[in-house]
Amino acid sequence: MLERFSPEEIRGVLAHLRKVDPIEVENKFRQFMESKGLVKLKCLLLPIRSSKDLKRDLLKLIKTASHEMAEGEVRTISI
């Protein structure tokens, strides 16, 4: 599921039923970004494992992490 949040930001959700290695997911996103010419895109991945993960201030966490990231970077952060 993808949505346009603002002219500069797209947010999405990728659901999976089994645990996947974060490096594998990061590599898939890098491949996608490169194949589409999205070299300036910042990609922040947040693994959500339970409803408790959703109770944190995720927007603040996302904002802080995205400001620290370089263009073209793919990063997974733990919640």
CA angle 76, 53, 42 (to 5 degrees): 25
Report whether pLDDT(38) > 80: yes
Least confident residue range of 25-29, 34-38, 53-57, 68-72: 53-57
Mean pLDDT of all residues in the chain? 85
